[in-house]
Chain A
Amino acid sequence: MPHRIKEITEGSIPDPLFTISGENLEISFSDAARLLQAWRNPIKARGIREGIVVSLVNESKLAIEVISNKLMYTPLSREEEEQLIDELKVLRYMIARALPEALELVTQDKLITEEDIRKFIQRHLQSLKEEYGEIKGARKILNRLQEITDLEIVDSYGNKRRVRKDEVIEFLGSILGSFLAKQAALQPLTGVTARPIGKVLPIYTYKAAAITSTSVPPKSIDRDDIRVLDKDRMSLVSLIVDMSQSMRRVVFEQGLSRLDGALLTSLGLYYFFNRINRKKGRLIKPFKMAIVPVTKTPHVVDDNKKLEELLLKAKAEGRTRLVHALIEAINHARKQKTKSIQAEQHVSLIFITDGRPNVPYPGPLPGHPSEGFKEYLRKRDISEDMKQCMLQLNQLFNYLKMDKSVQWSIQYFLIAPQGSEKSPIYRDTERMLRGITQPILVDPAKLEHLASQIARESLANY
């Protein structure tokens, strides 16, 4: 029979390994909270580490099969043969010795830190050397075990990403920060060039005119040369985050707590404001962000390193030292001297709490509490400590209201379910803040909206 030739298109025999996958991770707040939890708590990440060992087993097993077939059935040069034989030895060792031991150690939480894994790899490199002699490229293959300490995040659509442990904060921060930026973008940040408004900066305007003009000093200044501050105030955003025992309560699925929510909110905001500051063409950084955790010794967290430490070590424990934290925030704000140009200073004090303060400040405080509030508390049946704390807070708020050197604004977010307006906590808080601000209720199950709420309020205030 004569042969016939028919040409067929690629569509008739498509690539069997072709897949469509989502391009980007679409991380929800609870996905991010889970990743943060896994980063903070090695026990929570045990399942992830075991999963990574299992996937390394899968991959090594297939690699052994593929390399064996390649060695047996594909023509190879001597160098290629040599290399594949070496790879085969290491992979066999991995699947027979290193990976079973790794899974065992992971289950017992003995392979957690980078140091653990470094020692583990070193030990197996040594043992491999004793068994097979020096093998070129062994370290490279065994170094894949480093992935065991990675963390894995899977979004609601099944997209998966592994993140190195030391890059988790950067990863989460940038995702949450850009997410907030998208949400807050409804509020325009700048409105400059066409009809410049705001404070004119003479030096920068002069420099711009000198560059565009043919003579120095410039004969005239065009409208295009005028340089204004795109934001004529410096905003210091101080986030006072409650970390008392009650923040341990679980609010999301899979044991995610109020603390997790508050920490993620802080992280997201920190990266969000950094992102705004990085905007091209800005002459000053319009935002500064500080986080003041309400712990036994409240302190200010205002750089990456401190933030990472806070996120890693924060625990929901102890009592609610809101007054101490507020004093720390005020002192910190006062220390911030505006170094740049004519910017005024504006300080946002943002409270995130789920209860009432209960540890009074021992020293004297400026200002006076309102008489009406004193009278209100007298009738309330709550502990004396709590009463004293609330009075102290009221006193400080009144003082800040009168202080004209810095423009203070106070926002008070109270984590409580919807419909809690009639609860004693809300009523006491509302009374404490009367004449200053209104408490804003945040449903614990909707903590993911807190950050965007704060971002919007902060931008609106600027």
Chain B
Amino acid sequence: MQTTKNKLIETYQKAREFFKEEFGETPEEYRIFLLADEDIYTAMSMIKRTAASPHAIPSSLYSYTVKEVKQKHGLPKDVELVVNGSPTLIFMSKSFVKEHDDNVLFLKIVHSLAHAFINERTKSRYPSQNSEIYKLDYLQKELFLNNVVALVKERDAVWAWQYFQDFTALLRIFALHNMAYFYTPPPTVKKNSVFYNYLIEAVKIAKKRGEVIRKIPLHELIVEGFAHYIHEKALEKVPVSQRQSVLTILKDIHMNPMGIIGSELLKIASIKNETTVLNLAKSYYSDLDLLNNFELKEIKTELERIRVKTSEEGIQYHSAPASYWTELWPLHALEFDKVENYSRQILRYQFKNYNQLLNRNPILRHHGYVKVKDRKIQIFTINNDEVGLNQHLILRNHLLEKRQDFITSLPGLPDIIVFKTSSSMSMAQYITVGYPRRQPKTPYDLPKETRAVIVSKSVSYKSELEETPPTLPEEIDYSELKDVTQPQRNAIRYLLRFTMSEIPEREFAEE
């Protein structure tokens, strides 16, 4: 009986043959990882989706939520996982190889190898930068596992796992926006413990990662487009009678909007430039070079055409007679909207790298702070699913005004308010921390209070239960607050009513 490994090797060689026939050469710089544990494969896909690299350390909130969702609804299975680097890393799950027939496997491997093929030949720095991010994340993970596990075991500090997991995840998110300066500890902390060395290293890696990711060229349209173009060519090798069943399984490849749009644009551009798709794709430094072949109006028309074509194809391949295509297509259309928006923004503002795109659509903004008496309340907008109330505590613990004070993970500094938009719901979340009466056992051991309100409605809130509603502090200094809307300002005012008051001294009872 054919083993999974043999089956994979045979199909893999067939896929290499395909490249040889098609281009006269084959991809060489790649690694294929066959993962025995399907759950790890799925989890890595999820992390890559949210953090751009499968080895990034997710926040504890994200890990928890993914596990909850997995239990209740299940996660997407066998979605392609390729790290476009130098070398290109291709991940496959053993169960996928085992379950599906040669045609499916052939198309899947060809699609993955197409990434490697273009990554090896492109002039863009995209693959090398991507590899750098992958390496930094891997390094961060190794450091985390070695140091935090040691801390957990040696000091029996189980809390440290969650705390430093969140700490590392937040560093990564903040570094994206060049805001990791909040965490910069002075070199003198090295004297305190080996563990602080880890913190210094973690900050360094996060900052480096931030720099690399900001500089990374926007190149996804070209890579995915080229891979899709190759996929279409490889599909011709599959007998027509079998295409339906094969494509039903390979939805992730065949219906990937980035691939579809990229491939169509590459084909049109190649006609315009009278050259091959490969020559064109490898000559481009970023997606902008590809999109510059089109006028803004033209791109709109082309994208509309591609959308209609895909919808029709979708009905043919991904909609069984009694399927729910009318329900499914809007989901695809939403993804098309995202790619369309991405393409139009690049073309309109001539964006070349991720930093330019991120600056236009920031997920994280610092609005300065407000002051109530001597208390500072830092105001942020964080639209990232990895950041929740528990993560705000870490943020708050490490927000340092005076860097030389960074000798412990517990500086009692400002409270924070975070604005977050989820779907149509815009919330303001507040965490305020009182002064601990004794030495806290862990960073979680703090007297804290959290609140959350809907931003647009906070003006009208009042509770009938409250006999004496909390009053607004007399003096709120808004002078350092910037770029907030009036409803956001109202939400801040509402939340500040709950600023933790000083705890009265103990007294002796007379009655």
> Which positions in A face B, CB cutoff 8 Å?
1, 3, 5, 8, 10, 13-17, 19-22, 42-43, 46-47, 50-51, 53-55, 57-59, 61-64, 66-75, 78, 81-82, 84-85, 87, 92, 95-96, 99-100, 103-104, 107-110, 154-159, 244-247, 249-255, 258, 319-320, 354-356, 358, 415-417, 420, 423, 425, 444-445
Contacts and interface: CB of A to CB of B under 8 A. Distances in A.
A3 B6 CA distance: 12
B195 interface: no
B454 A103 contact: yes
A369 to B, nearest CB: 22
Contacts of A54: 388-389, 427, 429, 452
Query: In this complex, which of A8, A47, A61, A78 has the most chain B Cβ atoms within 10 angstroms of its Cβ?
Result: A47
A71 B68 CA distance: 18
Interface in B434-452: 434, 436-437, 440-445, 447, 449-452
Given A16-B43, A50-B453, 16 more contacts: A21-B161, A46-B451, A47-B452, A59-B69, A62-B69, A63-B69, A72-B252, A85-B324, A95-B425, A96-B425, A100-B454, A158-B390, A250-B506, A253-B437, A354-B509, A445-B506
A252 B504 CA distance: 10
Interface string B1-43: 0000100010011000000000000001000010101011001
Contact of B5 (A5, A75, A82): A5
Interface stretch (B72-80, B234-242, B288-296, B475-483): B72-80
Contacts of B72: 63
Contact of A245 (B69, B141, B252, B511): B511
A246 B511 CA distance: 6
B12 A417 contact: no
B47 interface: yes
A339 to B, nearest CB: 41
Contact of A43 (B37, B423, B466): B466
Contact of B422 (A20, A57, A420): A57
A20 B158 contact: yes
A109 B461 CA distance: 10
Contacts of B58: 16-17
A50 B450 contact: yes
A221 to B, nearest CB: 52
Given A16-B47, A19-B161, A157-B159, A61 B461 contact: no
B279 interface: no
Contacts of A444: 506
A19 B425 contact: no
Nearest to B42: A17
A107 B511 CA distance: 36
Interface stretch (B210-218, B326-334, B373-381): B326-334
B457 interface: yes
- Scoring A43, A69, A84, A247 by chain B CB atoms within 10 A of each residue's CB, the highest score goes to A69
A104 B455 CA distance: 10
B451 A158 contact: no
Nearest to B444: A158
B323 interface: yes
A78 B388 contact: no
8 contacts: A16-B56, A47-B449, A62-B385, A73-B76, A100-B454, A157-B159, A354-B509, A423-B508
B162 interface: yes
A49 to B, nearest CB: 9
A104 B33 contact: no
B251 interface: yes
Nearest to B320: A78
B328 A74 contact: no
A417 B508 contact: yes
A159 B162 CA distance: 9
Contacts of B255: 72-73
A57 B425 contact: yes
A136 to B, nearest CB: 14
Contact of A96 (B43, B76, B424): B424
Given A19-B162, A58-B388, A74-B251, A69 B79 contact: yes
A420 B58 CA distance: 53
A355 B251 contact: no
Contacts of B507: 249
Given A78-B320, A100-B425, A109-B464, A154 B9 contact: no
A337 B145 CA distance: 64
Given A13-B40, A109-B464, A67 B73 contact: yes
A355 B424 CA distance: 56
A72 B461 contact: no
A72 B509 contact: no
Nearest to A103: B454
A55 B388 contact: yes
Contact of A71 (B331, B422, B423, B508): B331
Contacts of A84: 73
Contacts of A20: 149, 152, 158, 161-162
A110 B159 CA distance: 35
Nearest to A43: B465
A152 to B, nearest CB: 10
Interface stretch (B59-67, B120-128, B184-192, B403-411): B59-67
Nearest to A44: B449
B55 interface: yes
B462 interface: yes
Given A3-B9, A47-B450, A157-B444, A17 B158 contact: no
Contacts of B335: 72
B40 A16 contact: yes
Contact of B511 (A252, A358, A423, A445): A358
B451 A87 contact: no
A110 B462 CA distance: 10
A42 B66 contact: no
Contacts of B161: 19-21
Interface string B77-102: 11100000000000000000000000
Q: Which 4 A-B pairs have the closest CB atoms?
A: A158-B444, A156-B445, A73-B252, A354-B509
A43 B451 CA distance: 12
A321 to B, nearest CB: 12
B445 A72 contact: no
A15 B43 contact: yes
B464 to A, nearest CB: 7
Contact of B74 (A3, A50, A70, A244): A70
A82 B78 CA distance: 20
Contact of A15 (B40, B68, B76): B40
Contacts of B248: 75
Contacts of A249: 506-507, 509
A131 to B, nearest CB: 14
Contacts of B73: 63, 66-67, 70, 84, 87
A426 B39 CA distance: 66
A62 B162 CA distance: 20
Contact of B423 (A95, A157, A254): A95
A1 B28 CA distance: 7
Nearest to B79: A73
Nearest to B462: A108
A293 to B, nearest CB: 16
A61 B423 contact: yes
Contacts of B163: 158
Given A22-B159, A84-B73, A59 B252 contact: no
B143 interface: no
Contact of B385 (A19, A53, A61): A61
A405 to B, nearest CB: 35
B324 A82 contact: yes
A15 B39 contact: yes
Given A70-B74, A95-B422, A43 B463 contact: yes
A81 B323 contact: yes
Contact of A66 (B76, B436, B441): B76
A75 B251 contact: yes
A70 B76 contact: yes
A253 B63 contact: no
Contacts of A85: 324, 327-328
Given A47-B451, A62-B385, A72 B75 contact: no
